[in-house]
Amino acid sequence: MMAGCRVQDPQVSGWLLDPADSSSCFRDLLNKHCKEPYKEPAVGTQKSQGLWELYSDMELNMIPVLAAMESHHIHVDKDALKRTSDLLGTEMKHLEQEAHREAGQMFLVTSSSQLRTVLFEKLRLHERCENKKLPKTVNKQQQSTSEAALLQLQDLHPLPKIILEYRQLHKIKSTFVDGILSCMTNKNYISSTWLQTSAVTGRISAKQPNFQALPRQPVQITKKQHVQGKDEEVVTVHPRSMFVPPEGWSFLAADFCQVELRLLAHLSADPELLRIFTSPEADVFTMLASQWKGVSEDQVTTRDREHAKRIVYSVVYGAGRERLSEILGVSVAQAGQFQDRFLQTYGEVQAFIHKTVRQSRERGYVLSIMGRRRALPNISCPVWGVRMQAERQAVNFVVQGSAADLCKTAMIRIFNLASSSSSSGSLSPRLIAQLHDELLFEVEDSQLEQFAALVKSTMESLQHIHHLGVHLKRQAPYARAGVQRHATLCIALCVLQLVGRRA
């Protein structure tokens, strides 16, 4: 029913023109973009700013896709979700008791001010931090109780690690488990509201519930035993196992793996970064760590690999040295050395960053690979902090906006192909969710192989989008046998995986 719809949406057009400040109503749109509000403006270069094709070919075609996603119900094992909530609640109580015991006093573990008093006034852990500069709060410049600060303190006393564990469980319980349960009053399914114009980068988001907040990986919870001589029990909670496909159907996930890094390789044309993606069996972040540290891959430690991953995304997302030092739990100087070494190893990445910033100053805006635009009014601001933020936004938008372009194009093409096949009676899969760079489908078991092949070929076709002038640099195919089905992709690796089945 949704596939043939064609709706003109002024909210979407206004958002494309100014994604950082989309108008809330039609009158605001007219006052903002039209000098003569009562005359119907002609569509042309002056008004559309080169965005007409993106509007008509992509964003308008996303409307029926999102409408269909909202119309589908995702069934949930409500009893399993309640059991998980109870389990998390019990473990949080145990961690709270441990925190009080280690602190030697009662305090509210969710209160930053009370935790700050215990850590820095009573235990005085900051005085034991040799060669470590602990982060401070932004406003009052007090000692921070952030994750980055607790990570630096966790080897000095048991309390910081307990608080980190408590916060992890609290986040899962409140945002995922209880958040979904609150949307399931008198029903056993959820159906998110999908927002098309909420993100500056062009990505879609979800609410009630925020389906995109689901942890991708299983979460392990250590149940401490209070009986002497009894070992601790490790319970694995897999959030996605709470979702149940209809009888005779399965969930199929198609994932754009490491799409930002692959786009960074394409946009920068860095030969060393591109070379990483020519190895079909390589662990990308291990290879990165090997290259910028100048050691063999078998000498790369788990810590080295994690550092490489964080450094890459600090470059992609525009995180400064101070933020990276918090993320890695190292000094600002060390974080700066890590970033400098990475950018020296991949010199064309730094050239791409400088070029992007220079062009944004000249134009006043930046563009994604498909012409998505973001204005940057502060790119030449004399205030250093404000200007630096605009520079980070410029690089971030080019990479993330391009990733949004690819993902939306894939969604539209697969949706249209599946809809036409459904009307002819050959295929009846349903796109039910988008989780950042991953698409989640419900597919009849008898159609899994056929539909997986369709998704694979469609995503592979995104290397060339001729009418938008998109031609992505070829990167290595990747395939591996097993339960996961890995599709060959040129720019963005697609992983097809069965994530739930009901016989």
pLDDT in tens, 293-345: 788 888 888 888 888 888 888 877 777 777 787 777 677 778 888 888 888 88
The answer to whether residues 32 and 23 touch, using CB atoms and an 8 Å cutoff, is: yes
In a domain, 119, yes or no: yes
What CATH number is attached to the domain comprising 160?
Answer: 1.20.1060.10
CA distance linking residue 218 with residue 199, whole number of Å: 27
Mean pLDDT value across the chain: 82
493 in a structural domain: no
pLDDT for the residue 424: 67
Same domain, yes or no: 96 and 238: yes
Domain boundary among 355, 381, 401: 401
pLDDT of residue 493: 42
Same domain, 272 and 203: no
What gap in Å lies between CA 456 and CA 477, rounded to an integer? 12
Report yes or no on 456 lying in a domain.
no
Q: Residue 61 is which amino acid?
A: N
pLDDT in tens, 436-450: 788 999 999 999 888
pLDDT at 401: 94
What span, in angstroms and rounded, lies between the C-alpha atoms of 73 and 69? 8
Q: Are residues 269 and 234 part of one domain?
A: no
The answer, yes or no, to whether residue 115 has pLDDT greater than 90, is: yes
Q: Are 118 and 211 in the same domain?
A: yes
Phi-psi region at 173: left, alpha or beta (left = phi > 0; alpha = psi -120 to 50) = alpha
pLDDT of residue 488: 28
Tell me what the mean pLDDT of segment 245-257 comes to.
86
Q: Residue 469 class from Cβ within 10 Å (0-12 exposed, 13-18 middle, 19+ buried)? A: exposed
Q: For the segment 217-230, what is each residue's pLDDT rounded down to a tens digit?
A: 777 777 666 556 66
Q: Tell me if 70 is assigned to some domain.
A: no
In a domain, 101, yes or no: yes
Q: Do 196 and 318 lie in a common domain?
A: no
Same domain, 101 and 210: yes
Residue 329 lies in a domain: yes
Give a yes or no: residue 238 inside a domain.
yes
Q: Which of 47-51, 131-135, 430-434, 465-469 has the highest mean pLDDT?
A: 430-434
How confident is the model at residue 98, as a pLDDT? 95
- Domain match, 388 and 279 both: yes
Report pLDDT for 315: 78
Domain end among 362, 384, 401: 401
Q: For a pLDDT cut of 90, what percent of the chain falls above it?
A: 36
Can you give the pLDDT at residue 2? 56
Last residue of a domain, one of 194, 212, 242: 242
> For residue range 364-420, what is the model confidence (pLDDT) as tens digits?
999 999 999 999 999 999 999 899 999 999 999 999 999 999 999 999 999 998 888
Domain with 356 in it: what CATH number? 1.10.150.20
How many structural domains is the chain composed of?
A: 2
Which residues constitute the domain of residue 332? Answer: 260-401
168 occurs within a structural domain? yes
